[in-house]
Amino acid sequence: MVIEKKLLDLFQEQIRNEFESAYKYLGMAAYFESTPYKGFAKWMRKQASEEMEHAMKFFDYVNDRGNHVELFPLISMPTHYTSPLEVFRETLEHEQQVTHLIHEMYRVALEIQDFAAQVLLQWYIIEQVEEEKQAQDILSQIETTGDSIAALMKIDSKVGKRKD
């Protein structure tokens, strides 16, 4: 059964949003690559691939329901930042915005009684809890370092061990 236009429009938009998230995190990876923080760079690359998986999950779902995927243009992303603190503050804020978008889609899926879409979106709702938690954890650790580069490098090394 095809997805109703009201929800479909949001899904199409979300394919772009997830690719833009990937692009955003790649921009942050590019920044970290130009600093000693290679662990953060690695984390951002992994985060970017995860965002592409999120995009493809919506892409596949739109196809599976018999709708036709539309691909919208991506905006350019910054590759210059001033500090890891700035980057992870922005990461958390970004994930909170994505959570809001997912919740809005879920609200529409409830409104139009699209039960299958609700199940898909429940996966994203849980995923966003994890996304916000990861960003918050790293941000909290960075906030404790003050001016200590040594402490920051230690977090960088730990964060760089991210497996998935």
Looking up tokens 């036709």 gives 68
Pick the binder of ligand FEO from 88, 131, 152, 155 (CB under 6 A).
131
Q: Is 18 in the site for ligand FEO (CB under 6 A)?
A: yes
Q: Which of 31, 32, 95, 152: binder of ligand FEO (CB under 6 A)?
A: 95
| Range 43-72 burial, b when 16+ CB lie within 10 A, else e | bbbbbbebbbebbebbbebbeebebeeeee
Inter-residue contact 26 to 45 (CB < 8 Å):
yes
Residues between 39 and 58 that touch ligand FEO (CB under 6 A): 51, 54
Q: How far is the CB of 41 from ligand FEO (least distance, A)?
A: 17
- Asked whether the beta carbons of 36 and 83 are under 8 A apart, the reply is no
Q: Of 51 and 156, which CB lies nearer to ligand FEO in the complex structure?
A: 51
Amino acid at 71: L
The residues binding ligand FEO (CB under 6 A) are 18, 21, 51, 54, 95, 98, 131
